[in-house]
Structure 1
C-alpha cells in the first residue's frame, strides 16, 4: 500500500505538533519564538540577575499563595511557546499544569542576553501583552535598565514605567505593592 504525504498531514495541527516537539527535546529546555526553536541556556550572569529579582519577590508571592518559576507559557493560535526567566503564578494554577497562558500569571520577568535582547525588548513584550500578562518586567542587562509594562492590550502594553537605570527603586503595583531594589543587578 502506498501512502501519500497528504495522508500523513490530515488531521495534524502544525502548531500543536511543533509545541509537542519542543516539550520533548532531550537534555536542554527550549522555547519557540515566532516559529523558531531556541535553546534556553542562560549564562551565570543572567541567572544571578534573575535570582536577585526572584529573591525580592518570593516572600510576597508566598503571601499571595503564588509560586515563582520559569515554567512553560503557551500562546495558543501562534507559533510561540515561551520559557520566561521568572513567572509568578497562583499555586492553584501551577499544580499539575503542563503550560499556562500569560494571562494566568501575575508577573512575567525577562532578563536580556546579548544573543536575544531584542526578542525580550520587542517580540515578547508585544506577545505577552497580546496574551494578557498583566505585568511584564524587562531587565535589560545590556542597557543596565529596568522597565515595568502594564495595562496589556491586543497591540501591546499601554503603560510603561521606565526605562530606569540600575540603582533606581521600582514600584511593583498591586497585588505586589513592593519596591524592587535594582542596585544589586
Structure 2
C-alpha cells in the first residue's frame, strides 16, 4: 500500500500514520502544514514576543482555570498537526492530552517568522476558523502589527480587529476582557 495512492485496503489510515510518526520523532518538534512536515524552531526574538504575551495574559488565564502552552493541536480529517506559539486551554482538558482540538482552546496565538509568515496569515487562519478556535491572534513581526480573529466558521472568521500597529492596545474579548499592551514591542 502506498500513502500517496490513498489505498486503505490494508487498514492503514495515512493521516493517522503520519500524525503518529511525527509524535514519535526524537529530538525535533515538528508540525504538519497541509501535509508538509515542518520543523518548529523559533528564534529568541520570536520567543521574546510570545513571552511578553504570555506574561500579560497569565493572571487572567489562571482565573479562568486555564493554562498557557504550545502543545499540539490536531485537525482531524486534514493533513494538519499544529504547534501554536501559544494556546490558552482549560487545564482540565490539557491534563493527560497528547493533543487538543482547536475548538478546545480559548485563544490561539501565532507569531510570524520569516519562514512561516504567509502560512500563519493565510493557511492557519483559515484552518483555525474551520476547526472552531474561538480567538486567533496573529502577531505579524514583519508588518509590526497584530490582528485578532473571532467568531469562527467554515468560511473563515467573521469578526476581525486589525491589523493594529505595535503600540496600539488590543482588546481581548470575553472570557479574557483585557487589553494587551504592545508599546514595548
Q: 2:98, 2:9 → 1: CA distance?
A: 25
Moved over 4 A (4+): 5-9
Question: For residues 10-42 of structure 1, what are the alpha-carbon distances to aligned partners after superposition, in whole Å with 9 as ceiling and x for unaligned?
Answer: 000000000001111110100000000000000
How far apart are the structure 2 equivalents of 1:32 and 1:131? 15
Aligned length, in residue pairs: 181
Alignment of 1:52-67 (within 5 A): 52-67=52-67
What do you get for the CA RMSD once the two structures are aligned?
Answer: 1.3
SS in 2 for 1:78: coil
Separation in structure 2 between the aligned mates of residue 142 and residue 8 of structure 1, nearest angstrom: 43
Could you state the TM-score of these two structures normalised by the residue count of structure 1?
0.95
Return the index of the structure with the highest Cα Rg.
Answer: 1
Q: Which residue of 2 aligns with 1:89?
A: 89
* Unpaired segments ≥5 residues, structure 2: none
Aligned to 1:112: 112
Aligned to 2:140: 140
Which position in structure 2 is the counterpart of 1:17?
A: 17
Deviation at 1:9, TM superposition (A): 5.9
Cα displacement (A) at 1:138: 0.2
> Secondary structure at 2:100's aligned position in 1?
coil
Deviations along 1:66-109, whole A, 9 cap, x unmatched? Answer: 00000000000000000000000000000000100000000000
Task: Tell me which residue corresponds to 2:165.
Answer: 165
Give the match for residue 51 of structure 1: 51
